[in-house]
Amino acid sequence: MSGPSDLERLQDAEQRLLSALEAAQRVVQLLAGGAPQQELEQLCSSFLYDVQSSQVTLLQLADKHQQPLPLQGNDYRQRLELLAARTQVEAAEAQLAAAVAAAGPGAAQQQRQAG
């Protein structure tokens, strides 16, 4: 069986963007109500994931079809690629920090000395 069709991928990207908008709306509501930090962080992570995965899907489909895109002459694509790379670096740094924290204070000192 082959993978999803381009139309299915576009519909999935659309659903993720709608989910991201719902998450953003919920964050605004929770901020107004003084929600717990953990819930806000989870919603923000969900928002970023949905938006970025939708962007990746749309970029892949645009490359596949080689259709000129509106505003293709600007730096929008490069900005998205830099954002994706920056997000990956931040995620790796967070994983490293969590691993160091889980390893204990002695490991944190060793990490600082090694860096």
What is the pLDDT confidence band of residue 105, given thresholds at 50, 70 and 90? Answer: low
Total of domains in the chain: 2
91 and 110 belong to one structural domain: yes
61 and 11 belong to one structural domain: yes
**Is residue 61 a contact partner of residue 10, using CB atoms and an 8 Å limit?**
yes
Q: What is the pLDDT of residue 106?
A: 65
32 and 60 belong to one structural domain: yes
50 and 9 belong to one structural domain: yes
Residue 1's CB: how many other CB atoms inside 10 A? Answer: 2
39 and 23 belong to one structural domain: yes
62 and 82 belong to one structural domain: no
In angstroms, the CA 47 to CA 103 distance is 30
Helix (H) or strand (E) holding 86: helix 76-103
**What are the φ and ψ backbone dihedral angles of 66, each rounded to 5 degrees?**
50, 40
12 and 60 belong to one structural domain: yes
17 and 58 belong to one structural domain: yes
6 and 57 belong to one structural domain: yes
52 and 84 belong to one structural domain: no
What tokens appear for 23 in the block?
Answer: 């998450």
5 and 55 belong to one structural domain: yes
Q: What is the pLDDT of residue 7?
A: 81
List, for residues 12-71, the tens digit of each pLDDT value: 888 888 888 888 888 888 888 887 888 888 888 888 888 888 888 887 777 776 655 565
Range of the domain at 15: 1-67
